[in-house]
Amino acid sequence: MARGLKFCLIGLAIFLAVSAAVVVSLALTVFKPKQPVITAQPVGLKDIQFGLPTNGSLNITIGILVTAENPNYGGFVYEDSNAYISYRGTVVAEFLLARRMIPARTKVNFTGSTVLMGDKMIETPGFVDDLLEGHLLLVSTARLPGKVVMLRVVRFPAMVSNTCRINVDVQSRSADSECITSMKF
């Protein structure tokens, strides 16, 4: 009986060692977290209205197409969050990013629009110079707290931070953007 127990324990030890090696190698290679790719592409300026210089009113509605690409083997569920658009350091728009699941190894598109607070933009020093040049440089920022879900069992907290520089061409009523995204576990 001792000899059979010895072989059983040796077999169990070998099985556990091989299983641990497989789990560690998968965790360090295949399941290693990769940075998501989030792009915010302005789809155009829907409405630009300038008031007379005496009352200084400005209304700009900007449409945004957000593409989130998750290259990981785990999905990401983020909570309701706010994104902000600022002009020369002054927040000129805020919009809600509703709770959403971004599945593993997929690309998700969602659209929205927001109205920029023109009165705050007009009050910002340098606005007239930027307007005369025909370009407004906006910066959007968003922080998405959430959870990474792997194999529907393992869950751990993560934070995705996104910053986009949006260059608005006032004359052609178009815009382009460049984004930087990072994920912290």
Do 15 and 49 share a domain, yes or no? no
Residue 150's pLDDT is what? 84
Do 25 and 75 share a domain, yes or no? no
CATH number at residue 132: 2.60.40
Residue 50's pLDDT is what? 58
Do 26 and 51 share a domain, yes or no? no
Do 6 and 84 share a domain, yes or no? no
Do 18 and 72 share a domain, yes or no? no
Mean pLDDT by 10 residues, the chain (185 residues): 86 95 86 83 66 60 85 91 92 90 91 85 90 90 90 87 89 84 88
Query: Looking at the 3D structure of the chain, how many domains does it have?
Result: 2
* 98: its two tokens: 């509703």
Do 21 and 107 share a domain, yes or no? no
Do 55 and 66 share a domain, yes or no? yes
Residue 49's pLDDT is what? 62
Contact predicate 180/147, CB 8 Å: no
* φ/ψ bin of 106: left (φ > 0), alpha (ψ from -120 to 50), beta (otherwise): beta
Do 43 and 26 share a domain, yes or no? no
Residue 173's pLDDT is what? 77
Which DSSP category does 36 fall into?
-
Long-range contacts at 156-165 (CB < 8 A, ≥ 24 apart): 156/185, 157/185, 158/76, 158/183, 158/184, 158/185, 159/183, 159/184, 160/36, 160/38, 160/76, 160/78, 162/38, 162/40, 162/83, 163/139, 164/39, 164/40, 164/139, 164/140, 165/137, 165/138, 165/139
Q: How far apart are CA 156 and CA 147, in angstroms?
A: 5
pTM of the model: 0.77
Do 44 and 1 share a domain, yes or no? no
Do 103 and 89 share a domain, yes or no? yes
Do 77 and 7 share a domain, yes or no? no
Do 5 and 84 share a domain, yes or no? no
Give the domain extent around 178. 33-184
